[in-house]
Structure 1
Amino acid sequence: MLRPVTLRRSHRQRTQEHFEDSLAAQVLKLLALVAQAGPEVSARRRSFIDSFYGHLYPSDVVRHFREQFESFLSRSLDLGAVCRALDERLSYQEKVYCLIIVYEFIIADKAESVERRLARAMSKLLRISEWDVRFVESHFGLAEPDPEALHRSGIIALRVTGDLETADVYLPFPGLDVLIYKIRNLYCITKKCDGHEVVVDNYELHKNISTRVSHNYRILFDDYSLKHHDLKAYFENKVNPLNVDRWVTQDDLEPAYADAPGENDVLRLEFRGARIRLVLMDPYAVVNVNDQLVQDAVQVNLDDDIFVNGFRMNLRELFYSLNARRDLALDDGREEYRLTNSVRGDLFIHDDLSERWTSVFRMDRARRRLRFDPRDCPYQIYLNNRPCQGQVDLRHGDTLFVHGNYLTLDTEQEQLRKAAFSFNKFSADRIHHVFEDGTVGLDEVSLDIEYGELVAIMGPSGSGKSTLLRVMSGFETPTSGQVRIDEYDLHSEYGMLKHHLGYVPQEDLLLSNLTVYENLYYYAKLRFPDKSEEELDAKIQMVLTDISLTERRDLRVGDVTDKTLSGGERKRLNIGLELLTDADIYMLDEPTSGLSSKDSEKIVELLANITLRGKIVVCVIHQPSSRIYKNFNKVVLLDHGGKLAYYGTTYAALEYFKRHMERDARKGRIVVECPRCKTVQPGILLDSLEESLRDIDGSVLGKRKYSPDYWKQEYESTAIDAWLSSIQLPSSDILPPKPAIGLRERLVQFQTLLSRNYRSKVRDRSNLLITFLEAPLLGAGVGFILRYTPAGDYSLYTNDLFGIFLFVAVIVTLFLSMTNSVDEIIGDSSLFMRERMLDMTSRTYLGAKLLVLLPFAVVQNALFVALGFYILEVHELTLAYILYLSLLSYAGLSAGLFISSLPRLSSRAAQNIVPLMLVPQIILGGALIEYEKMNKSLTIVENSPIPEICQLMPSRWAYEGLMVLQENNNSYHARHQELSDQLRELKINLRNAEGTPEQAVLEPRKDRLEDALESFRASHKYRYGNKNIHDAVTLGEKRFEEIVREHMDMDPQRAETGVEGAMRDWNLPYPMFVPWKILPLVNVKGSTTLYNALVLLAMGLIMNVLTLAALNWREQMLRMGRRAKSVAKKVRPQQLKL
């Protein structure tokens, strides 16, 4: 009975130790230290503990924190130790946030001077700037307002209030008072008032208790919301406020924005920092703000729904456009201006780095130029769209591109103009697409999608939804028509525009053996090879927050059969990969297919959040629920044959098909939206589209009531509200430069692919086990079967089957290498095409594949040779055999990758090709059938010792190379031949010296040499030599000498050059197992082993060149789409008249 208790106590002790080391406990110790400094701990301070930890943890954990707080109060705590622990583990901005919490704890009750002194001591130990401490103290009323501290501190405070005089951001709620602090890239919020509900990420704020505003959080003020993305622009306006007016004018049909007042002005927009005022100028104009008719002037916010004479005004788009365009005056006499990621700089470049960087412009007024020193800038700099390094000089009209921002010098106006790049409009104009078999995929589809819109593509199966998405994403080129981003043709400018597009296909593109974080990291590293690890980590952390997978970042992704992530989490991760690219336009093919209703809602809410940043999102979706459907701004409805049945706003689509259904006499009044629960019925769209024709008895006749052509004509004859959309901003007239990918970036991409492929392969435990088991099992099995001896004890010399073993080793090596690689490219073909959009070359991709596969092949060869040689008692040349077989593996891997790269080849078809390639290697390799006994019809050149088709077999070259390697390099035959030659020469000399005094000297030498030869035979012959291989190589040498003599007889004039000279002069054909050959190009005699190794290397290189060509062909096929050879003349619909 004692043992379980002891175990529980041990577990409790370990849990306590873990808690003592946590950050939450360290902060709790700071608060306990402050409480200990005062006379007593009040109920308000204890309540602060409950409230502060209450928004982070459940009630039982909060109770534990309260108990620990009481425990800390009774202990003697070391301020230095606590602060050191926090200083080591927290970033600077997090330490400042901790200090804010401490001061809030102090003001929760009467603040004592000793507590303030203790807080100051904490700030010094945490190495917090004096200016930041003074800023915090003044904001909490513990010190007099300090204008210098407000200016020099890195903290910025944004006030959200209902008081127009003091508001940085105005909301129409009297008495509302909220402060949001920006500490570098960290935001935290404090409510200073009572009576108003303020909610951050489903947590209601308590007065004077701060909470962090993490990426993708929303702050709700009653029915208004403030997005994390908006905070960046608001803080920039706090430091460098907008002070501009814009007018909305309407001459004819469509209203437009104007920079100056005119005769036909409808209203004026006044931007004063983050406060926006709308002033009505035309009393006859109909202007609605949140369904309220505007009579005079009204304060408006970015989330307000504003309509001007029926046209929607996207205030967020206009605000961000103005905020992105800032002019820096250069006429103030200064010599230096700062470009930085701090809002307090002269020119602000927003990024997500926690560390501040600053680059300097230096004005040379005499030469009318501006010199830019990018020394501390972490981004690639482009001057007039060309990458540059080091200091650059700007003259009038020159443009510098830095991290998505254009900086243009105007020396005449003495200004440096900054403009952030963004697209405003995406359109498809009369897209017609015909497949190779003549089937119409898309029939004259036209769309206009605007800034910040979420668009759904719906329709029955086979109606062209995915085709439209692929055409709009640039993967397929339409037969006719144009896809434009602003005024740029997507397909003709694809190389420049592809970086602004994100495409998420329906299939899963995750690497199952990597974690969630690793999938994102490797994709980001390929996309941004020039960025630092800190930048990549900051970007990944933001995306993890966006897709709500922060807590699952270290989980292995798994596959369909080995699930560790749910279907919804996998979809979010796939979307997260594209969010890393920070594209302007996202295309998603059925992101909710196969998901539960809850997961589907999360996916669509994520997409809606993306559009709040001004992104355009288009996705194919099937049978959305009411809640999902209402997230979309517009809907595209396609019918069979790719015919456009409807395009417009989501609510207008319901009204459109409702009116059509109500025209049917048998149908009564149809309700589009429930007046109580506001639920809509998106199902009526497809129900109307595919309504069946019925007989008089009501039975279904199996035909549609209305054809696709009917819906197309019905739509074209109707004025559609989608064409009367929003007030348009001017389109961008300049494209950002194409990212510069130099040698360094290519190397980073190569290393990234290498690391990713290796890590993914090593973690595939089952495949790894099979890979490293099959080679030794085959080696042991083949060695055991071929351990042959005619009689008596076994020896390598008498094993007539050792040559067969070498040939089987060749075939096994080819088999293993081809099967290991034949599915590599097919398995990640979609991933390859996706990553080709990241400017990754086919050479980089193929090189990384080979370098990862080759070490595994080497290990397999080593295991096969080690087991086989152990059984066959081969005592030498092991390393040489492994290296030679590895060279053959290189050729085999290259062949397998070539097969895998062929377009339109399935995995099963590729696996079936392996035997097709392997069987000829066996038959034509030179071991199964001697070349002299083969069908003479295979020989092109008469009397050729080896049929020409056999020269194409890697097995023939590897087999011959290994046989000659064994003969030329074993420890017996070469030395035996040398001793035999010496003995022969000595016998000749002895015969010539017969009867002379020299005979007495040579006789003992002959005896000693004979004894040495016999001794050498006894010790080496059966251990290192092989009679069968020796005979084969000797026969090959004799055959070649016969060929040489035949040619000498035919050409006596060249006979004096000798055998080696004849080989060089005549380029004679080599029979099998010649011990040496003339090496090409250098024309030098060399070993057949080396010659054949070069041939195998050349074969592998040729295969790799073919693989690269196949990969490029595959890309072209997918990029250009499939066109029909002849397309019938198409009748274009009449242009819509508005």
Structure 2
Amino acid sequence: MDLLKELTLKGKLVFVVIHQPSSELFKMFDKLLIIDEGGYLIYKGNPVDSIVYFKTKANFANWNDSECPVCGNVNPDQIFNIIESRILDEYGNVTQTRKISPKEWNDFLENKKEAENEKHEKLQLQKEIPDNPFKIPNKLRQFKVFITRDVISKLNNKQYLIINIFETPLLTFLLSYIVKYYSIDVTNVLGYTLYDNSNLPIYIFMAVIIAIFVGLTVSAEEIIKDRKILKRERFLNLSWSSYLLSKVAILLVLSAIQSFIFVLIGNSIMEIKGMFFEYWIVLFSAWSCANLLGLNISDSFKTAVTIYILIPFLVIPQLILSGIVVPYDKLNPEISSTGTIPFYGEIITARWAYEALAVKQFKDNEFEKQFYPYDKIMSIADYKKNYWLRTLSNKIIDCERYLNNPKKKNVVENNLILLRNEIKKELKENDKFKFDQLNKLYYDSLNSSVISSVNNYFNLLNRYYIKLYNKANLLKDELISQQQQTKEEKYKFILQKKKYTNRALTDFVCNSNSLERIVEYKGHLYQKINPIFHDPESNFIKAHFYAPRKKLFGNYYSTFWLNVIVIWVMNLLFYITLYYRLFRKLINSIPDIFSKKKRF
């Protein structure tokens, strides 16, 4: 019988026909049905209440006693004794006639039903709704209550506090201390300097990855652990936005503190100077993005085990597709782009965060920022005269060589496409020199006169870029000379360079280790050398990796701030998906999709 009772608690309906039940067994029933002779239903209701009911109808003296006042037991047999009680004759002998017939018992039950129905109808006819003492607080009040409850819950969770207090400082110390490299050679009289630490790019990248990893782990259980509470409070119609905002607010505060601690410890050990706020805002942005992503997966899945299995699948793409471990131009050409970052790189938070820090660290440190304008001009001029012009000059030479060779027509036409595209681009960027033979750079129109015009145009550009390079170089040398008038100033200059710049990061952002300086692809030339000095051409953020600035609606903006804004736009999108529970709906719809496919 206990097993049958457990089934009822699980939502099963159990019918039991039993004779002479014990008191304990009798009390286990939820409802009692009694059918008298002739099929008359004479009782339907609570088993224990049936005794009082029958005693009342039979006019018993102790009609309100249903249980033994001493032991609390119920005697189910007395129900049948009352129902089948007999009339006594004038001699006190029991006759075969019942006091109350089955039909009369049935009438009692029907009258009871009618009385209950009338009472129910009267209640339904009441026009005035009784006052409800409960009022749902406004959203701001709910927000405060949710925050208070969550904070108290976290403070009472000692394990949670210990992990969040010590996890970030420990990871920061291990990372920064391990990668703090310097040469132990006797010639190194300065000891550790930022300039010679070849691990700075690794530190920046791992700082971003740690921010994403910790942000995910901290927020991954935030909603799933509240699922029972949310289910219990659902009937109160509380504000979902207030609940989410309370979660987001607490996590953002926690992330701000953790990122502050990370930068404080890590940058101090690595001796990164003058970049505290920049590192903090980028890491805080990445941390926050991971928090919101973690809230999405916390709301979407049913168990914490599933969530923690999923976290590596979210972190690993941040490693592989960030452009650091494997450069974008070294990925499968079918899924990568030559001139810009591929589409999947645009949704990788680690890429935006790392690029912002790498560009800022190189371009705006206290030493380089005074020379960067000159270095940029020199880089552009050097690329144009040594790589771009040389490549195009070779193309026009090939055109002249194969002009009268029909077998090489395809080569000439491809060269002319490249020449038209690149000269057109140059005319748009540099209006100091005119070239009016662009419409003649076609196979049928090409002749020695056109080729001569192209060569003359290239010679003018070559002289222009040589002068441009020399002028910028001269101005830079003058600035350097002004800062090295004395021996002490010269030492201070070298020391400043050692403290603020980094050779390894320079190699990264200038792509110095790549053998490819320029690449021809689909009728265009793409610069591979010195991307940190090359401005992108796209009008809407799209750019090559390590671009110093990016275009938005026709205007150039700093890569650092634009990348930070992009991360916060991603944060906003993650909040929208969380508010409308889009990830949850998508995941819940997957089984339905597969079930439909199986049917067909």
> TM class by shorter-chain length?
0.5 to 0.7
What is residue 780 of structure 1 aligned with on the other side? 173
What is residue 482 of structure 2 aligned with on the other side? 1008
| C-alpha deviation, 1:915, in angstroms | 1.3
What is residue 961 of structure 1 aligned with on the other side? 356
Confirm whether residue 894 of structure 1 aligns to residue 292 of structure 2: yes
Larger Rg: 2
**Cα distance between partner residues in 2 of 1:981 and 1:1015:** 26
**Alignment CA distance shift 1:1062-1:781 (3 Å):** closer
What is residue 237 of structure 2 aligned with on the other side? 839
Which secondary structure does the structure 2 equivalent of 1:730 belong to? helix
Which secondary structure does the structure 1 equivalent of 2:556 belong to? strand
Contact (CA 8 Å) 2:328, 2:342: kept in 1 or not?
A: yes
Confirm whether residue 1063 of structure 1 aligns to residue 534 of structure 2: no
**Cα distance between partner residues in 1 of 2:325 and 2:173:** 21
What is residue 1025 of structure 1 aligned with on the other side? 501
| C-alpha deviation, 1:770, in angstroms | 1.5
Name the structure, 1 or 2, with higher relative contact order (CA <8 Å, separation 6+).
2
Which secondary structure does the structure 1 equivalent of 2:561 belong to? helix
**Cα distance between partner residues in 2 of 1:855 and 1:900:** 19
**Alignment CA distance shift 1:953-1:1040 (3 Å):** farther
| C-alpha deviation, 1:965, in angstroms | 2.1
| C-alpha deviation, 1:973, in angstroms | 1.4
Q: Find the partner of 2:330 among 915, 926, 933.
A: 933
What is residue 463 of structure 1 aligned with on the other side? 8
Confirm whether residue 680 of structure 1 aligns to residue 73 of structure 2: yes
Which secondary structure does the structure 2 equivalent of 1:824 belong to? coil
**Alignment CA distance shift 1:922-1:988 (3 Å):** closer
TM alignment of 1:483-522, pairs within 5 A: none
Which secondary structure does the structure 2 equivalent of 1:1085 belong to? strand
What is residue 746 of structure 1 aligned with on the other side? 139
Confirm whether residue 921 of structure 1 aligns to residue 333 of structure 2: no
Which secondary structure does the structure 2 equivalent of 1:856 belong to? helix
Shifted more, 820-829 versus 948-957: the winner is 948-957
Confirm whether residue 769 of structure 1 aligns to residue 314 of structure 2: no
**Cα distance between partner residues in 2 of 1:674 and 1:746:** 51
**Cα distance between partner residues in 1 of 2:520 and 2:75:** 87
**Alignment CA distance shift 1:1030-1:722 (3 Å):** farther
Contact (CA 8 Å) 2:216, 2:290: kept in 1 or not?
A: yes
| C-alpha deviation, 1:919, in angstroms | 1.4
**Alignment CA distance shift 1:869-1:1004 (3 Å):** closer
What is residue 974 of structure 1 aligned with on the other side? 369
**Cα distance between partner residues in 1 of 2:543 and 2:536:** 15
**Cα distance between partner residues in 1 of 2:239 and 2:264:** 38
TM alignment of 1:601-750, pairs within 5 A: 635-636=30-31, 648-652=45-49, 675=68, 677=70, 679-681=72-74, 723=113, 726=116, 728=119, 729-731=122-124, 732-733=126-127, 745-750=138-143
What is residue 826 of structure 1 aligned with on the other side? 224
**Alignment CA distance shift 1:983-1:961 (3 Å):** closer
**Alignment CA distance shift 1:1039-1:845 (3 Å):** farther
Unaligned segments of structure 2, at least 5 residues? 14-21, 34-42, 54-64, 78-105, 380-465, 472-476, 527-533, 589-594
TM-score by length of 1: 0.33
Contact (CA 8 Å) 1:648, 1:722: kept in 2 or not?
A: no
**Alignment CA distance shift 1:675-1:777 (3 Å):** closer
Which secondary structure does the structure 1 equivalent of 2:138 belong to? helix
**Alignment CA distance shift 1:463-1:1074 (3 Å):** same
**Cα distance between partner residues in 1 of 2:12 and 2:295:** 29
**Cα distance between partner residues in 1 of 2:481 and 2:47:** 107
TM alignment of 1:398-409, pairs within 5 A: none
Deviation per CA, 1:1008-1027: give whole Å up to 9, x if none: 35538845532311111112
Q: Find the partner of 2:550 among 1066, 1073, 1077.
A: 1077
**Alignment CA distance shift 1:844-1:636 (3 Å):** farther
**Alignment CA distance shift 1:635-1:781 (3 Å):** same
Which secondary structure does the structure 1 equivalent of 2:8 belong to? coil
What is residue 796 of structure 1 aligned with on the other side? 194
Contact (CA 8 Å) 1:635, 1:647: kept in 2 or not?
A: no
| C-alpha deviation, 1:725, in angstroms | 6.3
**Cα distance between partner residues in 2 of 1:625 and 1:780:** 70
**Cα distance between partner residues in 2 of 1:983 and 1:1015:** 26
Contact (CA 8 Å) 1:925, 1:956: kept in 2 or not?
A: yes
Amino acid of the structure 1 residue aligned with 2:495: S
| C-alpha deviation, 1:843, in angstroms | 1.5
Deviation per CA, 1:664-714: give whole Å up to 9, x if none: xxxxxxxx9665626235999xxxxxxxxxxxxxxxxxxxxxxxxxxxxxx
| C-alpha deviation, 1:822, in angstroms | 0.7
| C-alpha deviation, 1:1043, in angstroms | 8.3
Amino acid of the structure 2 residue aligned with 1:852: I
Contact (CA 8 Å) 2:289, 2:570: kept in 1 or not?
A: yes
Contact (CA 8 Å) 1:635, 1:653: kept in 2 or not?
A: no
Unaligned segments of structure 1, at least 5 residues? 1-457, 469-623, 639-645, 657-671, 685-715, 993-1002, 1051-1058, 1118-1123, 1126-1138
| C-alpha deviation, 1:849, in angstroms | 0.2
| C-alpha deviation, 1:1095, in angstroms | 1.6
What is residue 450 of structure 1 aligned with on the other side? none
**Cα distance between partner residues in 1 of 2:214 and 2:75:** 54
TM alignment of 1:256-271, pairs within 5 A: none
**Cα distance between partner residues in 1 of 2:523 and 2:484:** 39
**Cα distance between partner residues in 2 of 1:1068 and 1:851:** 29
| C-alpha deviation, 1:950, in angstroms | 2.7
**Cα distance between partner residues in 2 of 1:683 and 1:875:** 88
**Cα distance between partner residues in 1 of 2:221 and 2:564:** 26
Amino acid of the structure 2 residue aligned with 1:805: Y
Amino acid of the structure 2 residue aligned with 1:461: E
**Cα distance between partner residues in 2 of 1:1011 and 1:1046:** 51
**Cα distance between partner residues in 2 of 1:1108 and 1:461:** 38
Confirm whether residue 758 of structure 1 aligns to residue 169 of structure 2: no
Contact (CA 8 Å) 2:201, 2:358: kept in 1 or not?
A: yes
| C-alpha deviation, 1:929, in angstroms | 1.5
**Alignment CA distance shift 1:747-1:1044 (3 Å):** farther
**Cα distance between partner residues in 2 of 1:1071 and 1:879:** 25
| C-alpha deviation, 1:953, in angstroms | 1.5
Structure with greater strand percent:
1
**Cα distance between partner residues in 1 of 2:216 and 2:76:** 51
Which secondary structure does the structure 2 equivalent of 1:1086 belong to? strand
Contact (CA 8 Å) 1:799, 1:1026: kept in 2 or not?
A: yes
**Cα distance between partner residues in 2 of 1:1006 and 1:780:** 37
Q: Find the partner of 2:309 among 912, 915, 931.
A: 912
| C-alpha deviation, 1:738, in angstroms | 9.7
What is residue 561 of structure 2 aligned with on the other side? 1090
**Cα distance between partner residues in 1 of 2:581 and 2:131:** 29
User: Percent identity at matched positions?
Assistant: 23
| C-alpha deviation, 1:809, in angstroms | 0.9
Deviation per CA, 1:181-222: give whole Å up to 9, x if none: xxxxxxxxxxxxxxxxxxxxxxxxxxxxxxxxxxxxxxxxxx
**Alignment CA distance shift 1:924-1:1008 (3 Å):** closer
Which secondary structure does the structure 1 equivalent of 2:180 belong to? coil
Which secondary structure does the structure 1 equivalent of 2:581 belong to? helix
Amino acid of the structure 1 residue aligned with 2:485: D
**Alignment CA distance shift 1:683-1:770 (3 Å):** farther
The alignment of Structure 1 onto Structure 2 pairs a total of residues equal to 419
Confirm whether residue 949 of structure 1 aligns to residue 425 of structure 2: no
Deviation per CA, 1:105-142: give whole Å up to 9, x if none: xxxxxxxxxxxxxxxxxxxxxxxxxxxxxxxxxxxxxx
**Alignment CA distance shift 1:900-1:654 (3 Å):** farther
Amino acid of the structure 2 residue aligned with 1:1008: Q
Contact (CA 8 Å) 1:970, 1:1025: kept in 2 or not?
A: yes
Which secondary structure does the structure 2 equivalent of 1:797 belong to? coil
**Cα distance between partner residues in 1 of 2:23 and 2:226:** 33
Deviation per CA, 1:268-288: give whole Å up to 9, x if none: xxxxxxxxxxxxxxxxxxxxx
**Alignment CA distance shift 1:867-1:1004 (3 Å):** closer
| C-alpha deviation, 1:1006, in angstroms | 8.2
Amino acid of the structure 1 residue aligned with 2:250: V
